[in-house]
């Protein structure tokens, strides 16, 4: 009887991840149907590489929103996908290094003093876009698409719903705050008449997603590689979380080297089809915790469901009609939460900011990221998260270690 319910449990897990899964491509200008397809494909590849031992679902990574937006505006989607594919290959390299040197290698290269400020920048760097969209403007604030008072009301209600569900809800509903916020905001948008359903009416019921083949350009590649830092560390955190939930040490079996490699292959496969990079989804881990559904076969059916939905043309068109204020309101919480994760990384690991070395790394990284620092030589330029990640790593390697750091290693 249990086996009969596994496909239904798989569909339920996709329902949990659905809001965040589609929100990321909507924000970064990618196709939501492609994102569904590549999330399913990436999860299946991850299961093959990890021998289907880990109950984890992979989907759109929010850490890549700003880099993808910059890449699409600068080089276009195909070249951006090429850069992302190489960023995925960085995961594979990290997996190989972990197998050779052990997981301690990751902690030496990417200690909390490096990872914390980079994650903070990922969140705070996107804050202006969230506010602009909540006010009914385009992400860069250059044009008004929805009247401000209406947009602000919809955004606040979407945000309030998301917060209320995250804080007050019980059971499975508690891990679906983004989906709940989208539904409430979408309903209000219908009441105010700001949704155009013409694309949905014109879309066929069945349609092949708008796949995009990658192209490779050295500027995009060098820009994207440092961005892989934060998701790689997030991967380790999610792996530890699911290990605690299930009582199994996935860091040892199938091993961190396999899971990192699986994540990298999933991201490379997603980029090959024009989808956003994949990462492990904490929402689904939360649902696994609540439902005690530890069977990895459930995630196989989650992936199959995602791939199936990707070919429903009207669903893809419907997702594209989600109004800017709805996304903006939810992002006010979402991007702030990302920054808070970075802050918590520093606090939880007791990074002493009274120590000049640590203060220098964190301070320079934050100012470069928030201030929009850019370094360029000829056609090559580094800015945003890529620059911050590289600067934090270099400062950590170059500045002399404190006695406490040396003891920790």
Write down the pLDDT at residue 202: 95
Write down the pLDDT at residue 229: 78
Write down the pLDDT at residue 1: 39
Rounded CA-CA distance 125/338 in Å is: 10
Mean pLDDT of 338-343: 88
Mean pLDDT of 337-354: 90
| Structure-model confidence comparison of residues 8 and 80, the more confident one | 80
Here the tokens at position 346 are 């520093």
DSSP 8-state assignment for residue 226: G
Model confidence at 302: pLDDT above 80:
yes
Residues forming a β-bridge with 144: 137
Q: What is the 3-state secondary structure (H, E, C) of 222-265?
A: HHHHHHHHHHHHHHHHHHHHHHHHHCCCCHHHHHHHHHHHHHHH
Instruction: Write the pLDDT tens digit of every residue in 97-128.
Output: 999 988 777 778 888 999 899 889 988 888 99
Write down the pLDDT at residue 374: 86
Write down the pLDDT at residue 296: 93
Write down the pLDDT at residue 194: 95
**Which of 232-241, 332-341, 372-381 is the least confident region?**
372-381
DSSP 8-state assignment for residue 374: E
Say what the pTM is.
Answer: 0.90
Model confidence at 278: pLDDT above 90:
yes
Write down the pLDDT at residue 192: 96
Rounded CA-CA distance 336/353 in Å is: 21
End-to-end Cα distance, the chain: 50
Here the tokens at position 254 are 């199938």
Confidence of residue 2 (pLDDT cuts 50, 70, 90): low
Here the tokens at position 305 are 């469901």
| Average pLDDT value for the chain | 90
Confidence of residue 314 (pLDDT cuts 50, 70, 90): very high
| Structure-model confidence comparison of residues 305 and 231, the more confident one | 305
Rounded CA-CA distance 44/302 in Å is: 10
Write down the pLDDT at residue 375: 82
Mean pLDDT of 201-225: 94
Contact 192, 59 (CB under 8 A): no
Write down the pLDDT at residue 66: 85
Write down the pLDDT at residue 288: 85
Here the tokens at position 378 are 């000829």
Q: At what angle do helices 297-310 and 2-28 cross, to 10 degrees?
A: 50
- Cβ contacts of residue 329 below 8 Å, gap of 6+? 134, 154, 155, 156, 157, 158, 159, 162, 181, 185
Handedness of CA 95, 96, 101, 106 (dihedral sign): negative
Residues forming a β-bridge with 58: 280
Mean pLDDT of 233-246: 82
Mean pLDDT of 315-331: 95
| Structure-model confidence comparison of residues 163 and 377, the more confident one | 163
Contact 82, 44 (CB under 8 A): no
- Spatial CA neighbour of 274 closest among 20, 80, 65, 43: 80
Instruction: Write the pLDDT tens digit of every residue in 33-86.
Output: 999 999 999 999 999 999 999 999 999 998 899 889 989 999 999 999 999 999
Write down the pLDDT at residue 190: 97
Rounded CA-CA distance 389/23 in Å is: 25
Model confidence at 386: pLDDT above 90:
no
Residues forming a β-bridge with 278: 60
């Amino acid at each position: 009887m249990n086996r009969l319910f596994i496909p239904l449990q798989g569909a339920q897990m996709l329902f949990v991840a659905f809001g965040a899964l589609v929100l990321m491509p909507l924000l970064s200008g990618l196709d939501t149907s492609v994102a569904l397809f590549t999330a399913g494909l990436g999860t299946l590849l991850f299961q093959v590489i990890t021998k289907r031992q880990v109950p984890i679902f992979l989907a759109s990574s929010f850490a890549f929103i700003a880099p993808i937006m910059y890449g699409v505006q600068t080089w276009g989607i195909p070249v951006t996908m090429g850069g992302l594919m190489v960023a995925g290959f960085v995961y594979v390299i990290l997996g190989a290094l972990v197998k050779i040197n052990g997981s301690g290698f990751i902690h030496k290269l990417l200690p909390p003093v490096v990872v914390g400020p980079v994650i903070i920048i990922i969140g705070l760097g996107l804050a202006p876009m969230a506010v602009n969209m909540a006010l009914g403007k385009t992400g860069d604030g250059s044009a008004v698409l929805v009247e401000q008072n209406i947009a602000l009301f919809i955004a606040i209600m979407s945000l309030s719903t998301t917060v209320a569900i995250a804080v007050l809800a019980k059971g499975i509903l508690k891990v679906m705050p983004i989906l709940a916020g989208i539904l409430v905001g979408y309903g209000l948008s219908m009441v105010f008449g700001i949704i155009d359903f013409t694309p949905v009416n014109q879309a066929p019921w069945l349609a092949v997603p708008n796949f995009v083949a990658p192209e490779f350009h050295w500027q995009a590649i060098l820009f994207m590689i440092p961005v892989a830092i934060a998701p790689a560390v997030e991967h380790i955190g999610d792996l530890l979380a699911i290990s605690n939930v299930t009582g199994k040490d996935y860091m040892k079996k199938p091993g961190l080297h396999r899971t990192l490699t699986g994540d990298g292959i999933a991201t490379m496969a997603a980029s090959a089809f024009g989808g956003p990079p994949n990462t492990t989804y904490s929402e689904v881990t939360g649902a696994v915790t609540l439902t005690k559904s530890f069977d990895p076969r459930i995630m196989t059916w989650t992936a199959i469901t995602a791939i199936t939905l990707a070919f429903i043309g009207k669903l893809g068109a419907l997702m594209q009609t989600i109004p800017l204020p709805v996304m903006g309101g939810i992002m006010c919480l979402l991007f702030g939460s990302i920054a808070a994760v970075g802050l918590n990384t520093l606090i939880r690991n007791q990074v002493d900011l009274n120590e000049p070395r640590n203060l220098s790394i964190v301070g320079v990284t934050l100012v470069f990221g928030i201030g929009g620092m850019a370094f360029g030589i000829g056609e090559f330029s580094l800015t945003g998260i890529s620059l911050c990640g590289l600067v934090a790593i270099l400062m950590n390697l170059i500045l002399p270690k404190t006695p406490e750091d040396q003891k920790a290693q």
